[in-house]
Amino acid sequence: MSAIKAHPDYSLCGWRFRSEIPIEALPVWDGDSDRPPDIELVRGEVAEIACEGPVNVVVTGPNKATVVSVDAGRFSVFEGREIIADVRPDALPGFVETTILGPVLGTISYQRGMLSLHSNTIVIDGKAIALSGRSGAGKSTLAAILMKRGHRLISDDVLPLYESHGRTFALPGSQNLRLWGEALDLIGESKEGLRRADLVRDKYFLPTIDKTTQPWPLAALIWLERGITERNFLRPCNGVFRARAIYKAFYRQHLAREFAAMGSKEVRDFSLPGVAVFDLLRPRGLDLLEEQARAIERLASTDDLPNIDQPLQVRAAHR
């Protein structure tokens, strides 16, 4: 019996990704047509693993892990290249996709010896700017306003990184931004026609303007904290503060720790050369949203970004 391929291969982080499950958030593979797939996802059975919490990654060795999602199913990941997906029959396709481009991709990255950040990442003037922070810090809303201002999203969740010639490069992952309905209202974006990202929660996929397949130089990591503040500026983080902000931004810190402890030298190195690190306090709602987006644009346009050592003011808008 021959398998019928219903959809093309995708480009995931520059890898050729063959998947039996369609993935809307990825561009179609446009590289060498003779290149064999770098990553392959097939449907199959994955043994049950008892876990607590909605999503878990259980690492059983340097080359084997299982992602267990209460809502999406179980996904075994081998050697950074093979995925067996045991999808729940009632799973929302968007949720399955989010799991594949979230914890499954994160696991693949670590298995391949690549450190990954948890961030919404936007490209401004050819430079990738990673917005990171705990859940509710406002990274998606800020990313959405930057997208609305014409910038491209290259990652919604997992941002695999690699180093080359003393620079850090960001690989594009999920290129749909998951956004709460409330945040869409805040930025004046209609929910009509947007795909649901969740059956229960009021979340939607906001697609990027133009999907990309290439790596982008990572110029800055901005760690967002929720707070009302008089400290209204992008504050450079250096030394231990820089390291601490990067560590906080790791995608699933426990995975990074496990792979580091298993001997992955690449995962242990969080130097991120060429990346400037800042923190920024983000008030709730629309407050300072446009102003902070403009400040990030100004930051991206700075020639000597890695050497900025003075705070960059977020100017109040003229009303």
The structure tokens listed for 262 are 């298993």
Q: Give the contacts of 40 (CB within 8 A, at least 6 positions apart).
A: 17, 18, 19, 81, 82, 83
- Is 256 buried (19+), middle (13-18) or exposed (0-12) by CB count in 10 A? buried
Residue 15 backbone dihedrals phi, psi, to 5 degrees: -90, 150
- Name the minimum Å distance from CB 161 to other proteins: 13
Nearer to other proteins, 227 or 263 (CB): 263
Distance CA 290, CA 143 (A): 11
Alpha-carbon span 59 to 167, nearest angstrom:
30
CA contacts within 13 A on the Cβ side of 297: 17
Closest distance of CB 148 from other proteins, Å: 34
148 vs 167, beta carbon nearer other proteins:
167
Residues that bind other proteins (CB under 8 A): 239-240, 242-244, 246-247, 256-257, 260-263, 268-272
Q: Minimum Å distance from CB 119 to other proteins?
A: 18
Tokens of 166: 């003393």
From the CB of 262, what's the least distance to other proteins, in Å? Answer: 7
Tokens of 108: 């693949």
* Residue 248 beta carbon to other proteins: minimum distance, rounded to whole angstroms: 11
Instruction: Decide whether 206 or 276 has the Cβ nearer to other proteins.
Output: 276
CB of 139 to other proteins, least distance (A): 22
Residue type, 212: T
| Closest by Cα among 281, 279, 290, 145 to 226 | 281
When the beta carbons of 83 and 237 are compared against other proteins, the nearer one is 237
Q: Which is nearer to other proteins, 263 or 285 (CB)?
A: 263
8 A C-beta contact, residue 238 and residue 309: yes
Closest CA to 23 of 40, 36, 4: 40
Residues in the chain: 319
- By C-beta, is 262 or 317 nearer to other proteins? 262
Closer CB to other proteins, 166 or 193, in the complex: 166
Give the largest Cα separation in the chain, rounded: 67
Angle of helix 289-300 relative to helix 139-148, nearest 10 degrees, comes to: 70
As measured in angstroms, the least distance from the Cβ of 260 to other proteins is 6
